[in-house]
């Protein structure tokens, strides 16, 4: 059994890491939208969003990702039998995907810090939902562990993804109507 203090620290840093991942992509979206504004708004907003992104990324998100890995590894070393559990193997697969997502966010962060804009705000909104889907999957996996019915789980996973994409489309339509586009 993992030390409850280590487990608590692991959970705290998971929460702060996800908060950072969710918010950094929102800042990317705002940065892209600010780049479409006329001067001086574009420069003022761009400078402020770069500063906010920098602080969030290096003061909260990166340290949380590292500490999540540190405390998670500590728990596995303390109880290596956890690795033989099927739900843990699947969870660690999602964790790997989340770290890949984190590095993709880092690449986007670097591009935007250099005013390289390759994606639209809508594309970034869709990208932002990857972390949401991973979070939902891992929470259900951990809470339900071996009780999870894989057919229902897969259907639920697909349903959540479809609902998120639908929500993005509806939001875009409402926003375009308000802006007269």
Domain edges within the chain? 4-178
Annotated binding residue 118: no
pLDDT at 144: 77
Share of the chain above pLDDT 90, in %: 65
pLDDT tier at 150, thresholds 50, 70, 90: low
Statement: residue 29 has pLDDT above 90: yes
Q: Please provide the average confidence, as pLDDT, over all residues in the chain.
A: 90
pLDDT tier at 79, thresholds 50, 70, 90: very high
**Mean pLDDT, rounded, for 73-87:** 91
The rounded distance, in Å, linking the Cα atoms of 8 and 54 is: 27
Annotated binding residue 37: no
Q: What are phi and psi of 149, to 5 degrees?
A: -85, 115
Q: How many helices (H) and strands (E) are present in the chain, helices listed first? A: 6, 0
């Amino acid at each position: 059994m993992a030390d409850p203090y280590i487990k608590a620290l692991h959970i705290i840093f998971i929460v702060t890491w996800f908060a950072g991942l969710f918010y950094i992509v929102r800042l990317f979206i705002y940065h892209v939208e600010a780049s479409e504004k006329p001067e001086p708004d574009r420069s003022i907003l761009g400078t402020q969003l770069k500063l906010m992104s920098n602080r969030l990324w290096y003061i909260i998100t990166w340290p949380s990702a590292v500490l999540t890995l540190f405390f998670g590894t500590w728990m596995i070393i303390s109880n290596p039998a956890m690795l033989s559990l099927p739900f843990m193997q699947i969870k660690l697969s999602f964790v790997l995907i989340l770290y890949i997502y984190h590095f993709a966010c880092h690449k986007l962060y670097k591009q935007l810090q250099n005013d390289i804009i390759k994606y639209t705000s809508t594309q970034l909104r869709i990208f932002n939902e990857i972390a949401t889907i991973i979070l939902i999957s891992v929470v259900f996996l951990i809470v339900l562990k071996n009780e999870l019915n894989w057919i229902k789980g897969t259907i639920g996973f697909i349903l959540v993804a479809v609902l998120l994409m639908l929500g993005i489309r509806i939001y875009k339509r409402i926003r375009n109507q308000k802006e007269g586009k």
